[in-house]
Amino acid sequence: MSSSSSPPPPAASTARLDLDGNPIAPLTICMIGAGGFIGSHLCEKLMAETAHVVYAVDVYCDKIRHLVDPAPPHLHGRISFHRLNIKNDSRLEGLIKMADLTINLAAICTPADYNTRPLDTIYSNFIDALPVVKYCSENNKRLIHFSTCEVYGKTIGSFLPTDHPLRKEPEFYVLKEDESPCIFGPIVKQRWSYACAKQLIERLIFAEGAENGLEFTIVRPFNWIGPRMDFIPGVDGPSEGVPRVLACFSNNLLRREPLKLVDGGQSQRTFVYIKDAIEAVHLMIENPARANGQIFNVGNPNNEVTVRQLAKMMTEVYANVSGEPPLDEPMIDVSSKQFYGEGYDDSDKRIPDMTIINKQLGWNPKTPLKDLLETTLTYQHKTYKEAIKRQMSQASASKSLARRDEARGEERRRRGEESENRKAMGNAGSSPEQAAGNNKEDAEASRPPPSTVRFYPSADQPKARQPPPIKLEEEDVPPPPAADEEMAPRNLWQVYALGAFIVLRWAWVKWKESKDRDDSPDGRSPDGSS
């Protein structure tokens, strides 16, 4: 992309003002987790609409590759990618020192991991975040830390009887940053490991602000959704992975599988479009006087649905986007234990109160749920459909080969068992003929399957079997020739030659006798006969 085809940064042509009318100076921002879902959209926003400089810190850059690998000419010097893991890399402190503002987006934030990888979840969201808070506090750098709406835990109303009228009162389920209690389940429900770690790091940040003057803002996202959210298992994420609800349902739709509703999909949630939410973060970045020391809910209470209703809407929207009719049974119910494993728990409702963010930043979400689902599912279909087809085709071929190998193995096993049974049952009292038959069948069973025999012989291939000799019964065998028949003629010309020889021999004998009589004086033969 050339610089002539792209507009210059807005700050180069016009002065930008904050909400109080003050000029906005360009900032250097250290963004930890810039390669993820939220980070990629925030980087795009800052590059397109501001003159800020971004140090993009992450282990992967796939979702921001179009910005950093390589950076387009008009972004040279404005965004740089730093591949590092915040767990053990000393370069992190140097980047934070060089920046005016640090935004920490790094976290394990997939519900399937909370109760299956609780230690990793706690370390990622609390232990690994400690150095970031420490470096910002010690170097007097401002921090925007991303927390979660899960810190609220369960609503007060969830502890009331199902038919209790107070369950419908807003004060029993609407979640307020500075008033609502944080109520978690029992320790054995490890699903709360994520929420607990996030709440504890919030308390640490708040304490650093109170005691050491750390300038901070805490963000509590309420289900931000849109393109590039999470991953599609087996395509750009692990095959066994379980992403969050939107990506999970998208994966089912792309594969034409029923959408799995955990415990009937009765939990209620609100969903906000990622671009609306990024606008709120943009306001926090550029209005520090209004954002410092604040905790902000960022969600859309107008987009409240049950998970079952969300599944129904996504099925309908995807049918329009893809042109594929819905399945006859588009949804199935699964238990939380079956889907997430032991130790899973959940909250019934998560409805954000928007008073503080509206008052401090004047922000309100704009995008209705159906519109954001249409945008998101259009992206998912264009990005993943062909890759899913290829993956499913390869998987089908692999299954066919596996079934064939399994069938062959089963046949060999069956033949082996039959051979062992014959040996065990027959060898003790069988006749020699039966034993010979058993040995022959054993040899047949040990032969390799036909597909393993090559057409061209090789050193490692057994020689082709010869046909068995013809066995004649005793009465079919001709007797040996008699002594006087050993020289009997076998062909017609031999008969003629023998006959001629006998005739000539007889003629010669007669001639000889006649000659001897003629030569004798008394007319007798020499031997005295007459």
Which residues are catalytic, by number?
194
8 A C-beta contact, residue 96 and residue 30: yes
> Which DSSP string do the residues of 50-66 spell out, in sequence order?
---EEEEEES--GGGHH
Alpha helix (H) ranges present in 213-335?
245-254, 274-286, 288-291, 307-322
Closest CA to 391 of 229, 254, 230: 254
Q: Which candidate, 272, 279, 273, places its Cα nearest to that of 362?
A: 279
- Closest-CA residue to 251 (of 201, 296, 311): 311
The whole-angstrom separation of Cα 190 and Cα 116 is 8
Kind of pairing, strands 331-334 and 259-262?
parallel
CA-angle at 359, arms to 356 and 360, nearest 5°? 85
**Distance between CA atoms of residues 68 and 60, nearest Å:** 11
Report which secondary-structure segment, H or E, holds 438.
helix 432-445
3-state secondary structure of 145: strand
Among 247, 246, 249, 298, which Cα is nearest to 275's? 298
Contact of 11 with 26, CB cutoff 8 Å: yes
Q: How far apart are the first and last CA of the chain?
A: 140
Burial class of 182 by CB neighbour count within 10 A (0 to 12, 13 to 18, 19+): middle
Report in angstroms the alpha-carbon separations of 473 from 33, 151, 466, 479: 89, 93, 21, 13
Compute the radius of gyration of the chain from its Cα atoms. 46
DSSP state of 189: -
Q: Half-sphere exposure of 189 toward its Cβ, with a 13 Å CA cutoff?
A: 17
129: phi > 0 → left, psi -120 to 50 → alpha, else beta; which?
alpha
Q: Is 346 helix (H, G, I), strand (E, B) or coil?
A: coil
Is the CB of residue 347 less than 8 Å from the CB of residue 153?
Answer: yes
Q: Do you know the residue count of the chain?
A: 530
Q: To the nearest 10°, the Cα dihedral for 218, 221, 226, 229?
A: 80
Cα gap 424→420, rounded to integer Å: 6
